[in-house]
Structure 1
Amino acid sequence: MSTTAEPGRERSVPDLSVIVGERRQLVNLAYRLLGSLAEAEDAVQEAYARWYALSRPQQEAIASPGAWLTTVVTRVCLDLLGSARARRERYVGEWLPEPLPDRSEWIGGSAGGGPADPADWVTLDESVDMAFLLVLETMTPAERVAFVLHDVFRYPFPEVAGIVGRTPAACRQLATSARRRVRAVQAPATPTGAQAGLVRHFKQAWEARDIAALVGLLAPDATMTADGGGLAGAALRPVVGGERIAQYLIHLADRAPGLTLLERTVNGRPGLVARHAGVNATVAAFGLADGRVTHIWAVRNPEKLRPWSTSHLAADAP
């Protein structure tokens, strides 16, 4: 990837709109690399700070500002991923990626509380599915970066090599290893309509406190993982087994009178939001296979629920 001007050729400083126009792509990339919108925004902000710290001649010498910013964001994310293991060890309970709502449900609320910036939106596709993001978490930082850049964003391996500082052959090997991890845990795709119907039946059974119905909807070896981050009540370890999960959910509902369950899109898939005392307290994503719920990922850490504030989401969104 060439990032400097050819000798003897003059370049002007890129138009500000061109530089700012890269923001959405950079946020999309950083979120997939980090699994956190807050950290993704920080990584992108750091890249822009480095760009504006360059002198005018340095900026003029960069042939492709977009490629330069992508390289910086990726390397910032690599540094963060390198220290993630230690941060996870200090995290209270289980760690889950930060869930994202569908843009149709967002009616405002950038980090500063102003109108939503379209550049902040992360494109919701299969590469931000909660199960997929958790597979990415099992990869080494180098595997994750090579795989996301090549398989998700379609960068050719020579460009990936230039970004991560490895040979194209090494990057190809990293992506191949990552691909094996994905295939090893990838469940057969369930049509969106069937997903939504199953989640709706699950919601109705939970609301009715119908433990038998819940057990029937859950796979016998289903797993529920909750992320409270030490800031909200949550099981510190995964709850395993359909019957145990059903009992746990009924217990939670009994302890929170007035709990309201809302059908919402979570990272591009049908999910649920549990609202209590006017606050969206839990966002649940689901893994489904063979007509049953195999995984529930429940995020309760309020720091990860910024985009789900009731002041930001349409109250009656379907």
Structure 2
Amino acid sequence: MRILLWHVHGSWTTAFVQGPHTYLVPVLPDRGPDGLGRAETFAWPDSVQELSPEQLAGTEVDVVVLQRPHEEELAARWLGGRRPGRDIPAVYLEHNAPDGEVPNTRHPCADRRDLTLVHVTHFNRLFWDNGSTRTTVIEHGIVDPGHRWTGELARAAVIVNDPVRRGRYVGTDLLPALSEAAPLDVFGMRTAQLAEHLGLPRERCRAQDLPQEQLHSALALRRCYLHPVRWTSLGLSLLEAMHLGMPVVALATTEAVEAVPEGAGVLSTRAEVLAEAARRYVHEPQAAAEDGARARRAALSRYGLKPFLHRWEQLLEEVTRR
């Protein structure tokens, strides 16, 4: 099967392209958001092929995986007038929780009969107004990085991109109090000014923007994984941390309450409970190791690569037969 999709979310795409198909990824000279091409920081197989818009015009495509509203028009233009849903089978993959007038936010693909809308969490499907569009949920799959946790650094790891701009959405305002319980190492893009923005000394909050290939090893050195996000889709970084064998301390919001079972960490809507959990893991490495091992087992069972690819295979076969 020849599948056209844009390189939008590197971690999710890395799992998706492990399947048995040929994956066609648009590329533009500037490698901007609509033409990133192959990933440079993730390991993708040779079955992922870069194609320019000119090359796509004459290429056979079996199914299109749309991920952003404007991609439908891009696809029609770059595929020589062939429209997703009408001329080529299509699914729309929704990565994000709704924004705006939640829970009345209407999905851009609501009331469509010509495609299937795929959500990555049950929470997202519940909160989006999907109208009459056929919907399904295919939960995340993770390429297993292995059980790497050592916890040798008595610090908590946080992953968040653009924490200053995104603020309360990602729990940036909670970090000062949490850093009193456990010193924090914050990883992600545009984190350099975080400590200064929060007025925190470096020993309580260090920010690092590491290359993807170094991130898992760096996370595994920290005692626990802290996820203070108020409103988002389920972060792949949380699932990756669980795969690494890290115990999780997270706000009990969105899909986190489904992803982190009892014994794999601590979930609460009370910031003081999270602070106490982080403090305990920092001071009790054996407890962190035991809960982290349970977190890994739970993540492998629910978010392993094999079930993820199997569910996608079933859906793609179904939509291309219709």
TM range (shorter): under 0.3
Larger helix percent: 1
TM-score by length of 2: 0.26
How does the TM-score come out when normalised to structure 1?
0.26
Highest relative contact order (Cα 8 Å, sep 6+), 1 or 2?
A: 1
